């Protein structure tokens, strides 16, 4: 397992070594230049340009997959979602024979000031302890990655410096938020062909609930759940924290990046960046559960097509996750009652995505197998 720590570190050399489309590279150079030179400006503008210049689905690859699928030794449609996933992979990898040979799980770990409001059943020390557990190979995700032969990277995002308490002030300045998204972009390495995204951070289900409440309205209670297992008193503290955080934003339409900046967290900002980078590098993405989906929701609020290359790995039992998935126009790959986080649901779903590719590529056609078609 690879483990990396940062405090908003941005390494432009990695972008120079990675084959990206020119608009993406140019925009990132401007963003990094603005951040590292501490110039005044609007770093979000460059991220908006990155969203606007995202590559589209490869229609020719989808046509090729459908044509081959129609000839495989099975009734058309008999493998259900696996057939859909093979088309989705082809569309976003841009190749007629989609493959999953270099799958990678990336976990982003962040620390939140709002956790001190008693919104979680576990203390903030668990952040460092769980990252150490990932490194030692003792977490659930380690076992799944071993079982499925997936790569695993864990990224710490200044765990010793929690973001400010979002009930009282904004989580970031615009430059800080942009820098954290840029770091998430760096996490996406050339050569990956499937990215599974997860997170870890005590208090981050409260932060995700605040993002959903800010984007979708309703009452704070509509979006919260028990997270790591808070009791009734903790659940009420969580509801109050989400309500207070969103009340600071005032009325009116809320921009996705501004919602992220004001009530988000470092791991969520980094995941937004990773999703953007994956799209520009034609890497399909499997998102984990409740918290990771908040990063998907941020981009969806900016442009719904910006997350067409993302599938939701699983339906969490946390909060209103199923409601959010429906608002995104997506369907989870699995529904196993998970609520752990750390990319466990994404990994299980990723194994199914790989099965979809392997089945499509490995099956014989009716002609190859000498099997009579239905005629």
Give the pLDDT confidence score for residue 375 in this predicted structure.
58
Is-contact 206 237, C-beta < 8 A? no
Q: List residues bridging with 200 in a β-sheet.
A: 109
Spatial separation of the C-alpha atoms in residues 335 and 202, rounded to whole Å: 23
Centre a 10 Å sphere on the Cβ of residue 54 and count the other Cβ atoms it contains: 19
Is-contact 252 61, C-beta < 8 A? no
pLDDT-based confidence at residue 15 (cuts at 50, 70, 90): very low
Q: List residues bridging with 334 in a β-sheet.
A: 314
Q: Give the Å distances, CA to CA, from 280 to 9, 81, 268.
A: 21, 25, 19
pLDDT-based confidence at residue 38 (cuts at 50, 70, 90): very low
Centre a 10 Å sphere on the Cβ of residue 151 and count the other Cβ atoms it contains: 16
Instruction: With 0.85 as the threshold, say if the pTM is over it.
Output: yes
Tens digit of each residue's pLDDT (9 = 90 or more) over 114-132: 999 999 989 999 999 999 9
Q: Give the Å distances, CA to CA, from 10 to 90, 142, 151, 269.
A: 31, 27, 22, 14
In b/e form, how buried is each residue of 196-221, taking b as 16+ CB within 10 angstroms?
A: bbbbbbbbbbbbbbbbbbbbbeeebb
Tell whether the model's pLDDT for residue 43 goes beyond 90. no
Tens digit of each residue's pLDDT (9 = 90 or more) over 208-259: 999 999 999 999 999 999 887 889 998 999 999 999 999 999 887 899 999 9
Is-contact 178 35, C-beta < 8 A? yes
Centre a 10 Å sphere on the Cβ of residue 247 and count the other Cβ atoms it contains: 12
DSSP annotation string for 216-270: H-S-GGGT---TTT--HHHHHHHHHHHHHHHHTT-SS---HHHHHHHH--HHHHH
Catalytic sites, residue numbers: 342
Spatial separation of the C-alpha atoms in residues 11 and 183, rounded to whole Å: 8
> What share of the chain has pLDDT > 70, as a percent?
89
Give the pLDDT confidence score for residue 16 in this predicted structure.
30
């Amino acid at each position: 397992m690879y483990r990396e720590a940062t405090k908003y570190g941005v390494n432009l050399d990695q972008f120079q070594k990675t084959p990206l489309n020119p608009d993406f590279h140019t925009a990132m150079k401007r963003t990094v230049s603005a951040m590292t030179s501490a110039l005044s400006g609007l770093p979000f503008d460059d991220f908006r340009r990155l969203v606007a210049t995202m590559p589209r689905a490869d229609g020719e690859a989808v046509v090729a997959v459908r044509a081959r699928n129609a000839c495989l030794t099975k009734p058309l449609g008999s493998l259900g979602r696996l057939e859909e996933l093979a088309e989705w992979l082809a569309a976003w990898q841009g190749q007629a024979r989609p493959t999953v040979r270099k799958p990678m799980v990336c976990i982003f770990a962040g620390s939140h000031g709002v956790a001190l409001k008693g919104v979680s059943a576990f203390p903030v020390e668990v952040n460092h302890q769980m990252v150490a557990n990932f490194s030692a190979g003792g977490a659930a995700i380690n076992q799944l990655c071993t079982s499925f032969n997936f790569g695993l990277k864990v990224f710490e995002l200044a765990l010793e410096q929690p973001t400010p308490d979002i009930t009282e002030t904004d989580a970031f300045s615009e430059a800080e938020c942009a820098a954290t998204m840029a770091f998430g972009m760096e996490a996406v390495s050339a050569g990956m062909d499937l990215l599974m995204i997860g997170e870890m951070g005590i208090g981050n289900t409260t932060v995700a609930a605040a993002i959903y409440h800010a984007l979708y309205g309703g009452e704070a209670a509509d979006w919260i759940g028990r997270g790591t297992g808070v009791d009734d008193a903790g659940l009420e503290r969580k509801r109050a924290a989400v309500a207070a955080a969103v009340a600071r934003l005032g009325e009116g339409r809320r921009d996705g990046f501004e919602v992220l900046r004001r009530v988000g967290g470092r791991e969520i900002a980094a995941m937004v960046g990773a999703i953007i980078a994956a799209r520009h590098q034609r890497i399909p993405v499997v998102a984990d559960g409740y918290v990771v989906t908040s990063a998907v929701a941020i981009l969806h609020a900016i442009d719904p097509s910006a997350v067409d290359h993302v599938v939701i790995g699983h339906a969490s039992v946390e909060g209103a996750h199923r409601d959010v998935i429906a608002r995104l126009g997506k369907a989870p790959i699995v529904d196993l009652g998970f609520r752990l986080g750390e990319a466990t649901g994404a990994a299980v779903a990723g194994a199914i995505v790989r099965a979809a590719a392997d089945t499509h590529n490995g099956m014989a056609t009716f002609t190859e197998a000498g099997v009579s078609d239905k005629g």
